[in-house]
Amino acid sequence: MKGTWVANLRGYVWVKLIGGKSEQFLNAATRERIELWNISFTPASELIFGISIPDFFRLRPLLRESGSKTRIISRHGLPFRMARLSRRKTFAGGMIAFVVALFILSTLVWDVRIEGNSAIPEEKIRQAARAEGIFDFQWSFRMGNAASLSQRLALQLPDAAWVGVDKQGTSITITVIDSTKPEKKVLEGPRNLVAKADAVITRVIAENGRPKVERNDRVRKGDILISGILGNEQHSKAVVSKGKVMGLVWHEYRIASPLVTKTKNITGVSQERSYLLLGNRALQLSGYRGLTFESSQIRTTIHKAQFWKRLLPFGTMKEHELEVIEIEKRLTPEEAKITGLEQARAELLAKSGKDATIRAENILHEHTENGKVLLTVLFEVEQSIEVERPIL
């Protein structure tokens, strides 16, 4: 029976039998159905055994019968521990206070999380949740069940298609899913599509309206490409013209490309400094005797302390300073020319639109002056040339 939870709950003792007739005592204990365990004899032929507290108090008649006495060697189990605690009132009170505090803290809501891909501002969701009694450090028993909280929050947030509330221990997760709404179409008035630059037409795609030009036609800036007027002079109707008109447009560029370029490069030499953050102040902890760089880049990493998911006003900061040197590179006139043309092409395509394509380029003038290669280039670009003009 030693070591079982029943024995520990009832309490048990190790007893030594002194004097008398041990065999007669054992026979009497068996007759009275008193449970003894781990019975053994010492070198002095003294009987040692374990016995539960209730059975120990039944031994007195048996001891008188056998002419023996008992001596308690050790005491074990819950009753003896409680007796020791009763003599240490401060410790017992602290343990009880700890259990009570743990119970109280476990009934509080410590964290409210907002999840879901919602366009509704998080602050608005938190305000609606607070109105329904969902906020940090709220008593859990003061809130309703998750289903009723979800229904009440859905009424507070009409723009949400579904609101779910999940209570897990001391944290609450609110999931908000937006309702799908059709896109609001902007009201469009009747209009023409006109040319925004002089061009030669290469392609016309009219979705709505009447095309006024064809392929290979030459147009000037402001000419109507797709008309929004349908019908004749007696019977006409104004519509919203839609479509795409591509044309060849000529752009003259003046390029100045330097023969000497300067670039900044990281050498790989670096040093670190660490700081202790206290509010808006930083106390340097290391890196006082660092290197001195003529030119450098500093990368900063900040780690704020957290309690649950709340940022605390202190933490650590690390500065990683990298040495930077300026490298000068000399180009030949041909290299400078290629570099200037590449930059001009990229700038022209970015300005002309995503559908633009450079069909041809012609260098009209080229010379070197004051450390630069000067170019005058004529680019032929196929691009979208239509622009809207309202019909008044």
pLDDT tens, position by position, for the chain (392 residues)?
544 777 777 888 989 988 888 888 888 888 888 888 888 888 887 888 988 888 888 888 888 888 888 888 888 887 777 777 766 667 667 778 888 888 887 788 888 888 887 778 888 888 888 888 888 888 887 887 888 888 888 888 887 888 888 888 788 888 888 766 667 677 778 899 999 999 999 999 999 999 999 999 999 999 999 998 888 877 888 889 999 999 999 999 999 999 998 888 998 899 999 999 887 888 888 888 878 888 999 999 999 888 776 777 888 999 999 999 988 999 999 999 999 999 999 999 999 988 899 999 999 999 999 989 999 999 999 999 999 999 87
Tokens representing residue 315 in the block: 């933490």
Break the chain into its structural domains and give their ranges. 5-81, 111-178, 193-243, 254-259+330-390, 261-329
Q: Give the residue among 194, 191, 189, 195 at the shortest CA–CA distance from 229.
A: 191
Looking at the domain 111-178, which fold is it? Ubiquitin-like (UB roll) (3.10.20)
* Residue ranges with strand state E in 81-212: 111-115, 160-168, 171-178, 191-195, 199-208, 210-211
Burial class, 367, CB count within 10 angstroms (exposed 0-12 / middle 13-18 / buried 19+): exposed
Kindly tell me the sign of the dihedral angle through the C-alpha atoms of 227, 231, 236, 240. negative
Q: Give the integer Cα–Cα distance in Å for 50 and 4.
A: 13
Report the distance separating Cα 244 and Cα 225, nearest Å: 9
Within 13 Å and on the Cβ side, how many CA atoms surround 204?
24
The fold of the 5-81 domain, in CATH, is: Alpha-Beta Plaits (3.30.70)
